[in-house]
Amino acid sequence: MPRIALKVEYHGKPFAGWQRQADQPSVQGAIEDALAKLEPRQHTIAAAGRTDAGVHGLAQVAHCDMDKDWAPFRLSEALNHHLKPLPVAIVDAARVDDDWHARFSAVERRYLFRILMRRAPATHLDGLVWRVNQPLDAQAMQAGADHLIGHHDFTTFRSSICQSASPVKTLDELRVEEVDTFWGPEIHFHVRARSFLHNQVRSFVGTLERVGAGAWSPEDVRTALEAKSRAACGPVCPPQGLYLAGVGYPDNPFT
């Protein structure tokens, strides 16, 4: 059975998340339904990461096993035809070895979070950003973020329903930048690690927003981290504005 890697882009607003669910729409379910139109049988695809409801994918990676020896380009075109009109697109596809795995072969995940700073509602960006009414101090947020980079016990920033075996992770990058956009000033968080705990990025962003707003000091982030207690975490931000921006592999299958 030829194995094909898929690079997937999707708008998370109409979905209950990536993972297939019996009674709610999911990105995985949409792609598996499209595959069944090409090869009528039950399909199960694996992804590099499971995104929650409302979270978007810029470059999610999944793999599927096919009966027919599809040319990757033809498979991506056929899937995109059957995925219409859902906001899901296969932007690239590549043949990979039979033991290659979208999740277990990955060595890095990258996330982007966008905060739009303006009082007016976000019309064109509805569901794509977290809008806050007040300006935020990007330098203060970076100072707080610096306490989180490295190898730590992230119990404070871990959801109570997280299924990871350990709260200890290595955070390789947490970069905060202010960006001028057509819609107004935004804060972008660039987050990179081999793997993440459930709600870890949203816990980071919600906590650092408090720093940017002046309610917390940068040192308060270090204190929260060292507390190793979920109660010490700041508010968890909403999923709108969070994007799975990329997945890294020792050999990029899409090059």
The residues that are catalytic are: 52
User: HEC profile for 85-150?
Assistant: CCCEEEEEEEEECCCCCCCCCCCEEEEEEEEEECCCCCCCCCCCCEEECCCCCHHHHHHHHCCCCE
For residue 153, how many C-alpha atoms fall within 13 Å in the half-sphere facing its CB? Answer: 8
**Side chain identity, residue 116:** L
Q: Which long-range contacts (CB under 8 A, 24 or more apart) does 216-221 make?
A: 216/144, 217/140, 217/144, 218/140, 218/141, 218/143, 218/144, 218/146, 218/147, 219/147, 220/144, 221/144, 221/145, 221/147, 221/148
